[in-house]
Every structure is written in C-alpha cells, then in structure tokens.
Amino acid sequence: LNLPSEQLHELKGHTGPVLAVRFNGDGNYCITCGQDRLLRLWNPHKGTSIKTYIGHGHEVHDVAIASDNSRIASCGGDKLVMYWDVSTGQVIRKLRGHELRVNAVVFAGEESSVIVSGSYDKTVRFFDCRSRSLDAIQTVGCFKDSVSSIVVRGHELCTGCVDGNIRTFDVRMGEMKKDCLHHAVTSVAFTRDGNCLLASCMDNKVRLMDKANGELLNSYSGHKSSNYKVECLMTHGDSHVVCGSEDGQVHFWDIIDGKEVHKLGGHSHVVC
C-alpha cells in the first residue's frame, strides 16, 4: 500500500479551526465543519469549494453523509442535530432533545434512514429520517460521561466515551458489550473486516481490540493525544493504523508490529 506523501491542495474557506472532515462513499467529495458555525462542501481533487451550509448557532463538531449522497447530518454546540438537503443547502429538520453540546453524528439503517447522535449530556439518541417528528425515537443513557465518538457497521453500533469505555450495541439482538480501557476514549473505528475495534485514548495511545472478546491485540504510540479529541481509523486493506495528533501531524503505524512507519506534516496546530 502506498501511503500518502504529498499535499495536493489546501482547502481554504473556514475562518476558525476545522473540527471534522468527512468524505462521501466514493471519495469524490468531502464536507468540513468548524468553529465558524459553517459546513462546507468541496471537490478536494480540484481544491474547489462547491457549497456552504449556514444554520448552526454555535460551532459544528461533526458531520455525516448519507449513503446516497443527497443528505447530510451535522451537530454542534447549539445542542441540535441538523438534517440537510445537500443540493439545495436547506435544513430539512432541526432535531432536538440533547441537553448539552452534541459531539458525534452518523447515519445508520437501510438507506441511511436513521440518524444517531452522541452528546456531552451522556446520551446517544436515535432519530427517524422518514418521520416528521423532531424528537428522538430512542435514547440510550447508560454512559457515565460525554459520548465522544460513534461508528456504525451494519447492525452494530460502537461508541467511545470519556468514561473510558467502548460500548458495542447489537441493534438486532438488543445486546450491549462494554470494554473498559481505563482512559478517556475520543475516537472509535471498526477495522475494514469488522473483526476488531480501534480506539484513540487520551493517554497518547491508540488501541486495537478484538471485537468478539475485548482482548487488547496491539497499541500504538508516538503521537500526542492528551488534551484534544483526535480521530483514528484504518487504511483500506487494514494494513496501517492512522491517527491525528496534537503535534500537528498525521501518524501511521504498521497494524501488525505496531511500529510507526510514516508521518504527514503541514498543519501548524492539532490534527483532530
């Protein structure tokens, strides 16, 4: 696998920190969100801005793209989850219920029919996109601290929480498994094959866990992650672990031997 080594474009437009970047399914477009309360749609391959989405009253912490690319969901410091039409730039619904800032949002279900959000209020909420209701159809409140990250894979949903736990929910079976990492979890990701979980923790480590039994398979260090939420994920093919860092770099490790093999620079502050 060839790891990225060159900067192709610099996407300029946000007036403050950019808090999340999300690519659509085929990688042709990406959406960013930031402290300036805006969402921006880009063609990253040309380095051009396509559209700006205005509606949040506070910083926007996360954004998700539906599987058909026609809709997006965003969340932020205004306690709202916003459901948007991509082409018109209009808000379809402002989904309510969270009592504090919302940290994470994802689409789930067939045809991205459900929006799932996680908040500083220690809850995860489920919203039905096909309903006109602005309220959640289900609220999960088993968390002891802020929910920092949510990922979905088929009928499984995994959350990272500042209480130091990863919780994996089997939506079909109605079951929940909890793995304690003893350090605040800021990001979770499934490996591409779905057999393992990756977690970024605030002790400057990324951990690889066996999803079935919670066994710690490997840990990765060399980056800095003790004050900010930094994300981790796998490269395509599951050969390398990737994570942002407070040192302004993106770090890459070999998944098997745990050695750091590559870094990307260019940023002057935290890569989240």
> Which residues of the chain are under the pLDDT cut of 50?
none
> What is the spatial distance between Cα 223 and Cα 205, in angstroms, rounded to a whole number?
8
Q: Note the pLDDT of residue 266.
A: 86
Q: Note the pLDDT of residue 1.
A: 65
Whole-prediction pTM? 0.95
Q: Note the pLDDT of residue 135.
A: 95
How close are the terminal C-alpha atoms of the chain, in Å?
A: 24
Q: Note the pLDDT of residue 216.
A: 96
